Every structure is written in C-alpha cells, then in structure tokens.
C-alpha cells in the first residue's frame, strides 16, 4: 500500500471516528473506501505513465522537422513524417503545419487534451542527402517500433552531428566545377582553372559565410569575389575562356534544388511554402548574377 493511499485512508477514518459514531467504522466501509482509493490512485498513475512520454515527444518532433528541412526535405515529407511519428507514439490525432520558416505541431492525447508547440526555423535549407536518408530511416524505425523519448533524442542528436568532412566538400566542389566547365564547351585548362576557383568558393563558405547576416549577403560576396578572381586570371592567361569558367563555378552557387522543391511544393498543394521557396530561389539567383556582372563590369573599366 502506497504512502499516499495510507495517508488518505487515515484522513477518512479520522473524519469518521467521532463521539457520535461511538468510534466504530464497519469493515464494509473500510473495504469500499480502500477499493475507491486504490482505483483512483492507479487510474491516475496509468494516465501519467501514458501521458508523460507523449508530452516529451513533442519538442523532439520539432527538432526532427528542423533537421529534415535543413537537409533539403520537401514540405510534404516533413509533415507526413511528423504525422506518422506522432500517431506511432500514441497520439490520437496529429495536426502539423510546416513552412520554410516555422513548424507548428498540435498533438491530441488519449485523455482528450491537446498540446501545441511552435518552432521558428532560422537556418537556410541545405542539401545533405546522407543526413536526410538517416533521418528517414530513424522515422521508419520509430514508426515500426516506438522507443522512449530519451532514446529517440539520443538517436536524433547523433544524426544531427553528422557533417561532411572538409575534404569531401572540397573534392565535390572541385569535381563539379571542373566537369561543368568542360561540359559547357570549355577545354581542359578551363576546367583546371574552374577547379581552382572552386577551392576559393569553399574558402568563402568556411570563413565568410559565418560573418554574413544571411544567405543573400553571402551569395553576393561569394559571386563577386569569385568573378573578380576569374576575370583577373583571364587577364593573366588570355588562352582561358572566361564564360566557360564562370559557368562551371556558378553551378556551385545556383539554387537549383531549391527551385525544384519550390515547384514540387506548389504542385502538391503546399502553395505558401512553394511560393516562399520560389521567391527565395529567384532572389538568390538574381544576386548571384549581379555579383558576377559586377565583377565583369569592374574589370572592363581597367
């Protein structure tokens, strides 16, 4: 018998024992009161045991949605994943609303109450398909076999810490710039110079991006400085083709996947998110062009 039940039973018996009742409490009354207290106690205990983990899952789901968005997932994928995970952990109903800058989740619990939390998304969307694949595996495993909130949080944090190594990022940038420069009509020397400019872009990502206030600022700075480097190289080495080299390096900065996801969001009905992504993609593309045009105009005057 728990201390809480004993305390409440003693309070009941103390209230019953008065001079008028001749200090007697029947055994039937004792049995009925104990049964009532036991039923109430363990009913509340079961409710707490069921409800507490559901409440703890909610902030984890918000972080899960944040990681999915920052890895390049579509809006529909994020909403569908969080809906399925919520139902798997015991929620009777899930209402998930996601746009590129915010996530709102409302979970309806078995007792009829609802819990709502919102998270503001400030990170710009990236393209990390390895992390996206790991997050998808985590959500599928959770839906097939739900785990405790602490275990889910630990698995999510492990995936969140995954980052491509600097060597992998550098190698990918060099290969992409070299290949696109040749693909669009450049020769081997143009590809090599585009690869050198790609190294410069990776340096900008590492040292300039953290001090820029947003992606638009970085896009202009990176495109302008890269354009100046290419123009200067073509002045020093007249056999290089400036346009082919610029095309190869533009492909490292152009928001192609963002545009694709924006069109897909619009087609499947997520008009708000699709419009926001499309406007952002057009703005980044315009700033990218402005940076390279500025570099070309600057070197034409000298």
The parent domain of residue 40 ranges over: 3-47
Angle in degrees, CA 128, 134, 140, rounded to 5: 135
Per-residue pLDDT band at 212 (split at 50, 70, 90)? confident
Instruction: Based on the fold, state whether residues 266 and 179 are members of the same structural domain.
Output: yes
Q: What is the pLDDT of residues 264-291, one digit of tens each?
A: 888 888 888 889 889 989 999 999 999 9
Residue 97 contacts by C-beta under 8 Å, 6 or more apart in sequence?
79, 103, 104, 105
pLDDT of residue 26: 54
Final residue belonging to a domain, choices 129, 160, 191:
160
Instruction: Based on the fold, state whether residues 269 and 196 are members of the same structural domain.
Output: yes
Mean pLDDT, rounded, for 183-196:
94
Instruction: Based on the fold, state whether residues 151 and 181 are members of the same structural domain.
Output: no
In DSSP terms, which residues pair with 102 in a beta bridge? Answer: 99, 120
Q: Out of 36-45, 72-81, 190-199, give the one with best mean pLDDT.
A: 190-199
Query: Environment class of residue 176 by beta-carbon count within 10 Å: exposed (0-12), middle (13-18) or buried (19+)?
Result: middle
Instruction: Based on the fold, state whether residues 233 and 281 are members of the same structural domain.
Output: yes
Residue 132 contacts by C-beta under 8 Å, 6 or more apart in sequence?
68, 71, 72, 73
To which H or E segment does residue 261 belong? helix 256-267
pLDDT of residue 29: 58
Instruction: Based on the fold, state whether residues 69 and 186 are members of the same structural domain.
Output: no
Final residue belonging to a domain, choices 160, 190, 210:
160
Instruction: Based on the fold, state whether residues 230 and 284 are members of the same structural domain.
Output: yes
Q: What is the pLDDT of residues 225-257, one digit of tens each?
A: 999 999 999 999 999 999 999 999 999 999 888
Instruction: Based on the fold, state whether residues 275 and 205 are members of the same structural domain.
Output: yes
Residue 166 contacts by C-beta under 8 Å, 6 or more apart in sequence?
202, 206
* Pairwise CA distance, residues 159 & 145, whole Å: 19
Does position 197 have pLDDT exceeding 50, yes or no?
yes
Q: Are 92 and 110 in contact (CB under 8 A)?
A: yes
Nearest to 152 by CA among 53, 265, 286, 292: 53
Q: For the chain, what is the mean pLDDT?
A: 82
pLDDT of residue 122: 79
Instruction: Based on the fold, state whether residues 148 and 178 are members of the same structural domain.
Output: no
Does position 53 have pLDDT exceeding 90, yes or no?
no
| Domains of the chain: total | 3
pLDDT of residue 37: 52
- Residue located via tokens 């083709």: 241
Does position 137 have pLDDT exceeding 70, yes or no?
yes
Mean pLDDT, rounded, for 121-146:
86
With the CA atoms of 99, 104, 105 and 106 taken in that order, what torsion angle do they form, in degrees rounded to the nearest 10?
-130
Instruction: Based on the fold, state whether residues 17 and 76 are members of the same structural domain.
Output: no
Q: Are 89 and 146 in contact (CB under 8 A)?
A: yes
Does position 50 have pLDDT exceeding 80, yes or no?
no
The DSSP 8-state label assigned to residue 119 in this structure reads E
Instruction: Based on the fold, state whether residues 220 and 281 are members of the same structural domain.
Output: yes
Q: What is the pLDDT of residues 74-92, one digit of tens each?
A: 888 899 999 999 998 888 8
Instruction: Based on the fold, state whether residues 121 and 100 are members of the same structural domain.
Output: yes
pTM: predicted TM-score of the whole model, two decimal places: 0.72
* Pairwise CA distance, residues 65 & 81, whole Å: 8
In DSSP terms, which residues pair with 97 in a beta bridge? Answer: 104
Q: Are 252 and 198 in contact (CB under 8 A)?
A: yes
Instruction: Based on the fold, state whether residues 23 and 65 are members of the same structural domain.
Output: no
Per-residue pLDDT band at 2 (split at 50, 70, 90)? very low
Per-residue pLDDT band at 47 (split at 50, 70, 90)? very low
Mean pLDDT, rounded, for 5-30:
48
Cα-Cα-Cα-Cα dihedral sign, residues 6, 8, 9, 13: positive
């Amino acid at each position: 018998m728990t201390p809480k039940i004993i305390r409440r039973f003693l309070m009941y018996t103390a209230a019953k024992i008065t001079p008028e009742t001749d200090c007697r409490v029947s055994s039937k009354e004792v049995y009925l009161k104990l049964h009532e207290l036991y039923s109430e106690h363990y009913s509340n205990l079961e409710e707490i045991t069921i409800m507490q983990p559901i409440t703890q899952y909610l902030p984890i789901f918000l972080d899960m949605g944040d990681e999915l968005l920052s890895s390049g997932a579509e809006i529909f994928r994020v909403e569908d994943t969080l809906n399925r995970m919520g139902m798997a952990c015991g929620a009777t109903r899930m209402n998930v609303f996601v746009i590129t800058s915010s996530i709102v989740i409302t979970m309806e619990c078995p007792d009829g109450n609802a819990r709502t939390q919102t998270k503001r998304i400030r990170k710009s969307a990236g393209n990390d398909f390895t992390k996206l694949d790991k997050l998808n595996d985590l959500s599928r495993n959770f839906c097939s076999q739900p785990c405790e909130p602490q275990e889910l949080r630990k698995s999510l944090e492990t995936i969140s810490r995954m980052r491509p190594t600097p060597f992998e990022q550098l190698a990918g940038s060099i290969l992409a710039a070299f290949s696109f420069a040749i693909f669009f009509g450049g020769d081997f020397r143009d590809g090599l110079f585009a690869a050198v400019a790609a190294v410069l872009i990776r340096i900008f990502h590492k040292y300039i991006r953290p001090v820029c206030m947003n992606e638009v600022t970085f896009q202009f700075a990176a495109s302008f400085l890269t354009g100046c480097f290419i123009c200067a190289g073509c002045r020093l080495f007249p056999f290089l083709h400036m346009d082919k080299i610029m095309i190869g390096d533009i492909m490292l900065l152009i928001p192609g996947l963002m545009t694709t996801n924006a069109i897909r969001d619009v087609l499947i009905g997520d008009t708000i998110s699709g419009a926001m992504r499309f406007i952002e993609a057009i703005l980044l593309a315009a700033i990218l062009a402005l940076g390279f045009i500025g570099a070309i105009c600057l070197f034409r005057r000298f």
